Structure 1
Amino acid sequence: MTTALASRVAPGQVEENVEKPPGRWVRPAVFGLLAATALLYFWNLTASGYGNSFYAAAVQAGTQDWKAWLFGSLDSGNILTVDKPPAALWVTTAFARLFGFSSFTVLAPQALMGVASVGLLYLTVKRTSGPVAALFAGAALAVTPVAALMFKFNNPDALLTLLLIAGAYCTIRAIEKASPRWLAFAGAAIGFGFLTKMMQAFLVLPAFGLAYLIAAPTSLGRRSLHLFGALVAVVVSAGWFIALVDLWPADSRPYIGGSTDNSLLELALGYNGLGRIFGRGGGVMVGGPSGGTGGGNVGFGGESGLTRMFGASFGGEVSWLLPAALIGLVAGLWFTRRAAGTDKTRAALLVWGGWMLVTSLVFSYMSGIVHPYYAVALAPSIAAVVAISGTSLWRGRAHLAPRVFLSLMIAASAVWAYILLDRNADWLPALRWIVAGLGLVTATVVLVGLPPMRKLVAVIATAAVLTVGLGTTAFAVETAARAHSGSIPLSGPVTGGERGMGGGPGMEEGSSAEMGTLLAATTTKWAAATASSQSAANLELASGKSVIGIGGWSGRDPAPTLAEFQRCVAKGEITYYVEGGRGGGPGGGSTEIGDWVAANFAATTVGEQTVYNLL
């Protein structure tokens, strides 16, 4: 699009050339962007305590036992793992091992990943569209509310997002010179994305593959061969750990949490794969046309359908720039329709636009478990599409057609920001009117056309940026200022993390000051056992000891079985059984174990909880 439009710039019109050497301002601007991003993501970081206690407890276990670190075990005694592959835990646990286990070392790696994501997005967009577009893309990602949420929180999504951007960077490098090596690097990044959050990482593959197939400057046969090599890289970088888990004797490693047959591959295809999309294989129906169990539940995505990304669940998280991105993508592909097959701008739009469309559609129509924070993996693509298309249209503003599309992008951003802000009408009530008024005036001026006056051009450009970014920035800053905890954190001024499930760093569900003190004094392999991993995680964080979460996250994992639990008790390896938590679903043994404990041991009360001494 840059090539298609820049050649038509009118005499006297201010023109920005993406090919010219960057000015002296670029490097300070980039450092300023990264510094501001770091300030936003590290600001008030430890207010969230341990964030998601489920993953924080797994990090603690990894600092206490090497096998727990390798497999992502919830407890250092290695009964069972968390219900995700362990790549994100590898990184966080390494940080905690180096600097000690604390709230900061649990959350800081994600903040660093956020800064790295912004920087890498800048580098990727700069290769095709220049430093101005790259700075806009990086800034747009940094102030997306769901990014300000998840880069300050210890879910796997932060690492997944960084790896997806790395895959896009490598794909763009591969397209430039038809490089099979860079394309293989992209495949490796996606493979490790699979080891972070399984099949969600694969949503970008159609876009990457299509862009390379269309734009790489070599023959179709070579392009196809290179794509096959990249596919091999995906399989190898993801498959080595799957093979390791399958080859490792099952009786000397933890049970794979969330799976039905103690298999990481089954977990990927079932509970964390097709079950999430279709609501089967362990996934819970939460959103289909009938509403499922979460048709109106913001934490579970709300109703599925084409408008889900704009609804109450996902809208405030990620959709601020989505209308502009959709308009910009259409404009970009239209204006580059006659460009050479190797056109850089079109290739970039295929990479980022394909990522945006495929991910949005899958998230929109998922019938299984889906949470709003998943959208952080969508944020880089939206930011890149808006930046690339917006700056390219701005360069062609001497002509009516680019001005029409650009004014539509600005007006759509203003109107949609007004709607999103109006959903929280009591929070900064004047802001929505400021954004709407500024946006509509700016869109009108852009549509009418600007005289070739550099100062006036700068004023209108600034107004356009403010229109696009003011609402999402305010939401992101408010999100960053709040503490978040539980398993379903939410961004925004009203909800924050308060609608999340689970607890934060202090005396959480399944734990109390008295209970923490009691378990901290134990010397057995496991201080206690309780129903479900979430309750066990809270007890582990309160005591610093290993606790068995019977039945895993859902309470349905057959780990440990009653016979296994009885053997551990007979060996004197478990001190207490703590009643409470959820569990006992089909296939789980927590109810059976609880009944056996109640029938054979005396109960006492610690705090407000019933406890059995098993020694």
Structure 2
Amino acid sequence: MTTAALPIFPAAVAGAHTARPRWERPALAGLLIATAALLLWDLGASGYANSFYSAAVQAGSESWKAFFFGSSDAGNSITVDKPPAALWPMMLSVRLFGLGSWQILVPQALMGVATTGVLYASVRRQFGPGAALLSGAAFALTPVAALMFRFNNPDALLTLLLTVTVYCLLRALEGAQTRWLLWAGAAVGFAFLTKTLQAFVILPPLAVLYAVCAPTGLRRRLGQLLLAGGAMAVAGGWWVAVVELWPASSRPYIGGSQNNSFLELTLGYNGLGRINGNETGSVGGGAGGPGGGGGGRWGESGIDRLFSGNIGGQISWLLPAALVLLVAGLVITWRARRATDSVDGMARAAFLAWGGSLLITAVVFSYMQGIFHEYYTVALAPFVAALIGMGVAVLWEERGSAAAAVTLSGTLALTAVWSYVLLGRATGYLPWLRWAVLVGGLLAAVALPFAGRAGRQVLRATAGLGVAAALAGPFAYCLTTVSTGHTGSIVTAGPAVAGGRGGPGGMMGGPGG
């Protein structure tokens, strides 16, 4: 790969080691301000959102014991069905500013802004500010992200911590830095206290990546991974140890468990039961869908789950493009050495980290037989967004190659066609937009390989048209989402889709979703 300056993605690969262009700081500030405005707009319309968790927030604002355990009531009779880390910021907010919708939901919105910032910082280090801005915008305009960072479920904090984990892992890879690997382990541990075993889903690809590619000896690599595992155990295990050792007679009952044990809750209802559908005490079994496909009331499981029905409009707008760009990025960077002590080596490591996290999470979501809600897919949003920015950057840099130019154009055309399909699933929803997206995206895709011959301005305009066409559909869904209040435990972004659950305003479901 080359590292020459580019019209749109300056120093796309050596981004962390180049001087910042004058436009970068204003552009980053604009991205973060726009993200905050989107997430804070009419935030109070959702009231107490998921009242199951709002009750626990109120209890924790009145009782420090309820704060620690995540109790559903100030009398500490029973806890919510998750560990309490996601509740703590909301509880502190209510303690400081009083009980209200904004006091509960503003911490969630700020987590969305923080996730955008962390994603930007990570992508910029290897791919430059242009790629980072594109990734940040793609994340902020993911409909399910616009929903969940305005809602009080644990998924907002989980998504932030998963993004921090990948960022810290990539920083550790730059020079086999133990401290950054320890921070990655601590982030996973705290994510466990947010949504238990889902925090561990991305660990296999990240651990293998570090074990194989860190620029140091094998013995030191393995020793560092053991230390990171220790940091994870301490960050996630201290609370579990206190709860398990606390006399059951003087603490609240562990909600969702069958025998008042957090470990049983973690391994059962919130653990393997979500995978195989055998959820003792569940609000409804998941296995046994028609034709053996599984899913039951939670939808059919299978490779197409993330693209089908209402789920597609939550997360899949850029998912096909992300998969194509992952392959393209790996092909372009594969000539690099295995170790990450080179620019190209770190670029490849970034594709493996974000891409591995996306693939393993997508597979788990696609085939899990137990409780599955559309909003779970917010965990995929930073992975998809990172691959979009990185993949576009490397293809743009290699656009002089016919293969790279065709791949970039084909990816844009695929995105435009898929947006046309998704926009058509909501009957009567902005019919003009789906045609505008399709026509604009296809025109940009056809013109892109030739636009450079007409001059830099034409090239910029063509690229801008392509980006606008790719993001117009999810942007419209985001505006629909933030202009509607959402309550209950099963909520979805965007307009109502035939056969979907939730829809605008949401609906009630099982405890905590």
Paired residues for 1:49-60 under 5 Å: 49-60=47-58
Q: Which moved more, 1:48-57 or 1:177-186?
A: 177-186
Corresponding letter in the other structure for 2:446: T
Whole-Å separation in 1 of the counterparts to 2:179 and 2:196? 24
Which of 476, 479, 486 is the aligned partner of 2:478?
476
Which of 244, 265, 268 is the aligned partner of 1:267?
265
Corresponding letter in the other structure for 1:48: S
Whole-Å separation in 1 of the counterparts to 2:454 and 2:404? 16
Corresponding letter in the other structure for 1:231: G
Q: Please say if residues 322 and 388 of structure 2, whose CA atoms lie closer than 8 Å, have aligned partners that are also in contact.
A: yes
Residue in 2 that maps onto 1:496: 503
Q: Please say if residues 293 and 301 of structure 2, whose CA atoms lie closer than 8 Å, have aligned partners that are also in contact.
A: no
Whole-Å separation in 1 of the counterparts to 2:251 and 2:100? 26
Whole-Å separation in 1 of the counterparts to 2:104 and 2:262? 25
1:17 aligns with 2:4: no
Whole-Å separation in 2 of the counterparts to 1:292 and 1:274? 19
Q: Which SS does the other structure have where 1:101 is aligned?
A: coil
Which of 64, 71, 74 is the aligned partner of 1:73?
71
Whole-Å separation in 2 of the counterparts to 1:296 and 1:271? 17
Corresponding letter in the other structure for 2:359: L
Which of 178, 200, 203 is the aligned partner of 2:201?
203
CA shift for structure 1 position 211? 2.6
Paired residues for 1:197-236 under 5 Å: 197-236=195-234
Residue in 2 that maps onto 1:557: none
Residue in 1 that maps onto 2:434: 432
Which of 413, 420, 423 is the aligned partner of 2:422?
420
Cα deviation per residue 1:386-426 (whole Å; 9 max; x = unaligned)?
A: 11011110111111111121112101110110000000140
Paired residues for 1:302-313 under 5 Å: 302-313=299-310
Structure 2's unaligned 5+ residue stretches are: 497-501
Cα deviation per residue 1:487-518 (whole Å; 9 max; x = unaligned)?
A: 0111112363434216xxxxxxxxxxxxxxxx
Corresponding letter in the other structure for 2:335: R
Whole-Å separation in 2 of the counterparts to 1:180 and 1:270? 34
Whole-Å separation in 1 of the counterparts to 2:206 and 2:145? 22
CA shift for structure 1 position 63? 1.2
Q: Please say if residues 411 and 439 of structure 1, whose CA atoms lie closer than 8 Å, have aligned partners that are also in contact.
A: yes
Q: Which SS does the other structure have where 1:178 is aligned?
A: coil
Larger Rg: 1
Residue in 2 that maps onto 1:183: 181
Whole-Å separation in 2 of the counterparts to 1:291 and 1:236? 44
Q: Please say if residues 286 and 292 of structure 1, whose CA atoms lie closer than 8 Å, have aligned partners that are also in contact.
A: no
Which of 332, 336, 347 is the aligned partner of 2:333?
336
Residue in 1 that maps onto 2:405: 403
Residue in 1 that maps onto 2:107: 109
Q: Please say if residues 207 and 352 of structure 1, whose CA atoms lie closer than 8 Å, have aligned partners that are also in contact.
A: no
Residue in 2 that maps onto 1:87: 85
Whole-Å separation in 2 of the counterparts to 1:432 and 1:221? 55
Cα deviation per residue 1:81-136 (whole Å; 9 max; x = unaligned)?
A: 00000001111101110111111111111011111111111111111211111111
Whole-Å separation in 2 of the counterparts to 1:95 and 1:433? 44
- Relative distance call for 1:456 and 1:111 in structure 2 (3 A) is same
Whole-Å separation in 2 of the counterparts to 1:374 and 1:285? 17
Paired residues for 1:556-571 under 5 Å: none
Whole-Å separation in 2 of the counterparts to 1:112 and 1:456? 38
Residue in 2 that maps onto 1:124: 122
Whole-Å separation in 2 of the counterparts to 1:496 and 1:138? 26
Query: Size of the alignment, in residue pairs?
Result: 497
CA shift for structure 1 position 294? 8.6
Corresponding letter in the other structure for 1:178: A
Residue in 1 that maps onto 2:499: none
- Relative distance call for 1:26 and 1:376 in structure 2 (3 A) is same
Q: Which SS does the other structure have where 1:87 is aligned?
A: coil
- Relative distance call for 1:433 and 1:375 in structure 2 (3 A) is same
Residue in 2 that maps onto 1:568: none
Corresponding letter in the other structure for 1:139: A
CA shift for structure 1 position 13? 8.9
Residue in 2 that maps onto 1:285: 285
- Relative distance call for 1:286 and 1:76 in structure 2 (3 A) is same
**Larger relative contact order (Cα-Cα within 8 Å, sequence gap ≥ 6):** 2
- Relative distance call for 1:132 and 1:61 in structure 2 (3 A) is same
Which of 152, 159, 180 is the aligned partner of 2:150?
152
Residue in 2 that maps onto 1:314: 311
Residue in 2 that maps onto 1:562: none
Q: Please say if residues 295 and 370 of structure 2, whose CA atoms lie closer than 8 Å, have aligned partners that are also in contact.
A: no
Taking structure 1 as the reference length, what is the TM-score of the superposition? 0.78
Whole-Å separation in 1 of the counterparts to 2:276 and 2:86? 26
Cα deviation per residue 1:241-273 (whole Å; 9 max; x = unaligned)?
A: 110001111100001001112111111110001
Q: Which moved more, 1:132-141 or 1:440-449?
A: 440-449
Corresponding letter in the other structure for 1:451: R
Q: Please say if residues 164 and 201 of structure 1, whose CA atoms lie closer than 8 Å, have aligned partners that are also in contact.
A: yes
Residue in 2 that maps onto 1:591: none
Taking structure 2 as the reference length, what is the TM-score of the superposition? 0.93
Q: Which SS does the other structure have where 1:224 is aligned?
A: helix
- Relative distance call for 1:440 and 1:176 in structure 2 (3 A) is same
Residue in 2 that maps onto 1:459: 461
Corresponding letter in the other structure for 1:154: N
Q: Please say if residues 110 and 154 of structure 1, whose CA atoms lie closer than 8 Å, have aligned partners that are also in contact.
A: yes
Structure 1's unaligned 5+ residue stretches are: 503-532, 535-552, 555-615
1:364 aligns with 2:380: no
Corresponding letter in the other structure for 2:192: F
CA shift for structure 1 position 65? 1.0
CA shift for structure 1 position 221? 2.0
Cα deviation per residue 1:292-345 (whole Å; 9 max; x = unaligned)?
A: 899575xx3x21000000011310000000000000001111111111222111
CA shift for structure 1 position 368? 0.4
- Relative distance call for 1:37 and 1:170 in structure 2 (3 A) is same
Whole-Å separation in 2 of the counterparts to 1:445 and 1:466? 15
Q: Please say if residues 285 and 296 of structure 2, whose CA atoms lie closer than 8 Å, have aligned partners that are also in contact.
A: no
Q: Please say if residues 288 and 296 of structure 2, whose CA atoms lie closer than 8 Å, have aligned partners that are also in contact.
A: no
Corresponding letter in the other structure for 2:151: F
Q: Which SS does the other structure have where 2:238 is aligned?
A: helix
Residue in 2 that maps onto 1:167: 165
Q: Please say if residues 287 and 303 of structure 1, whose CA atoms lie closer than 8 Å, have aligned partners that are also in contact.
A: no
